[in-house]
Structure 1
Amino acid sequence: MNQNLCVAHRGFSGRAPENTLAAIHKAMELPFVTWMEIDVQLTKDGIPVVIHDYTLDRTTNGHGKVKDMIYSHIRRLDAGSWKSRDFRGERIPALEEVLELCRGRLKLNIELKNAGNLYPGIERKVSEMLAACGMKDEVVLTSFDTGTLDRIGEADPSVQRGLIFDSRWGDPAGRVRALGCTFLSISFSRLTPGLARFLSGRGVGIMAWTVNKAKEMRRLADMHSDIMICTNRPDVWGETFLEA
């Protein structure tokens, strides 16, 4: 069996509305999906919710910024109809219910969408939630923001942390080392064989995103067996590596 793990990007987002329970359930239907990537922000009243954009406009029938809305309002929004009428009434899930659903079934890469200090306290809140549900060993918390990564380490040094990197320039391996991270989430177009070998040799996990074509999946698999392939289309992963 192929060693390059399949990571469902925001759930099975190619078939269901991203970051919803419907997308998660569809990912879970595929036995080869072992990881999932989701995005977390805080409501105005401090509830961690699973949504990618800083605003509600693209993926719900609501408008405005996530940070300005209380949880009870966000829960009333339709987060499915934009994808298909079949998903009408799908809700934005709370992180807590996603953790309960995935515990023991899927490992999670949780991106904290915290630009600067947009969501004060999100690092501690999420870390405490992971501890409460016994999922610290099943999760890596990732962010583009180095301050967020530092605060995760301060909140709970035992939680695995990962840098997200999507720059044409810079030294991702050096930044991972300087931050004390053990995971790199990187745009697949930025990943090179040398970087993959270097990181793997030092025990750093590598996730390449977002890879939806069989050709690119094969290229990454040929590059290194430790590269996790994050995709909107886990079905294509299955067709590429299990049916070949």
Structure 2
Amino acid sequence: MNNLCVAHRGFSGKAPENTLAAFRMAMELPYVTWMEIDVQLTRDGVPVVIHDYSLDRTTNGHGKVKDMDWSQMRRLDAGGWKNRSFRGERIPSLEEVLELSKERMRLNIELKNAGNLYPGIEKTVTQLLASKGMSKDVVLTSFDTGTLQRCQEADPAVRRGLIFDSRWGDPAGRVRELGCSFLSIAFSRLTPGLARFMSARGVGLMAWTVNKAKEMRRLADMHSDIMICTNRPDIWGDTFLGV
């Protein structure tokens, strides 16, 4: 099966997204080879794994990620909102996730840095990857082109990818202009022509977020190189492996 399974924020269909519980659950499935995670910085510069700029939806805290120190953030409950059985799950640091996944899983790390909200995040993350010996095991992705350019400056050895979700524009052209080797695209924006074009040029391609078997099959029929990013890796397994 060429259409690799990417667990979106871990096994986020069943566990609280972007928590160690969600990552461990995804890693229990042998066919999950990639996970997609989101990274921001605390006020004191610690890379943490959380999607929203606000703490309100996925924790019992309030306010902005950027306004809270790591010592405060690590005490928040990031699991109870999903299910009472996950009470006590914490927001993980990127370092914790790297240690968990090293030599077991590759990571698509989205840097949440719209408008350079987190100055220096690119250098902080690339240095951490290098210190763990994982610079070759990840792709750094972002909607923000400035962030991608600064990633290149921080460490040219780390693979970079553009995230694209627009009815208009030229994703292939933007990937080329940025010198990226990866395109992360909303599955509804992906066409057979674009998939063939990117694959022929050696650009990795990931479609998100795909939770229905019908859409997974459609993407697989479109091109074998399309990575399928899903909240429900179990549905991927049922669809393609019958497990």
The amino acid across from 1:18 in the alignment is E
How far the C-alpha of 1:227 sits from its partner, in A, is: 0.1
Q: What do the CA deviations read for 1:52-83 (whole angstroms, capped 9, x no partner)?
A: 00000000000000000000100000000000
Is structure 2 residue 195 aligned with structure 1 residue 196? yes
Which residue of the partner structure matches residue 14 of structure 2?
15
Task: State the superposition RMSD in angstroms.
Answer: 0.6
SS state of the match for residue 228, structure 2?
strand
Q: What do the CA deviations read for 1:165-210 (whole angstroms, capped 9, x no partner)?
A: 0000000000000000000000000000000000000000000000
Unaligned runs of 5+ in 1: none
Residues of 1 paired with 2:83 and 2:242: CA distance?
Answer: 29
Percent identity, aligned pairs only? 80
The amino acid across from 1:172 in the alignment is P
How far the C-alpha of 1:223 sits from its partner, in A, is: 0.2
The amino acid across from 2:41 in the alignment is L
Is structure 2 residue 85 aligned with structure 1 residue 83? no
The amino acid across from 1:220 in the alignment is L
Residues of 1 paired with 2:76 and 2:27: CA distance?
Answer: 24
Which residue of the partner structure matches residue 150 of structure 2?
151
Unaligned runs of 5+ in 2: none
What aligned pairs does 1:1-244 form with structure 2 within 5 A after superposition?
A: 2-243=1-242
The amino acid across from 1:33 in the alignment is V
Residues of 2 paired with 1:238 and 1:140: CA distance?
Answer: 24
How far the C-alpha of 1:135 sits from its partner, in A, is: 0.6
SS state of the match for residue 104, structure 1?
coil
How far the C-alpha of 1:139 sits from its partner, in A, is: 0.2
Residues of 1 paired with 2:160 and 2:242: CA distance?
Answer: 34
Residues of 2 paired with 1:210 and 1:243: CA distance?
Answer: 21
TM-score calculated relative to the size of structure 2: 0.99
SS state of the match for residue 136, structure 2?
helix
How far the C-alpha of 1:97 sits from its partner, in A, is: 0.6
Residues of 2 paired with 1:138 and 1:15: CA distance?
Answer: 26
Residues of 2 paired with 1:11 and 1:174: CA distance?
Answer: 30
The amino acid across from 2:87 in the alignment is R
How far the C-alpha of 1:34 sits from its partner, in A, is: 0.1
Residues of 2 paired with 1:139 and 1:129: CA distance?
Answer: 12
Residues of 2 paired with 1:3 and 1:202: CA distance?
Answer: 17
Residues of 2 paired with 1:227 and 1:130: CA distance?
Answer: 25
TM-score calculated relative to the size of structure 1: 0.99
Residues of 1 paired with 2:9 and 2:225: CA distance?
Answer: 21
The amino acid across from 2:193 in the alignment is G
The amino acid across from 2:126 in the alignment is S
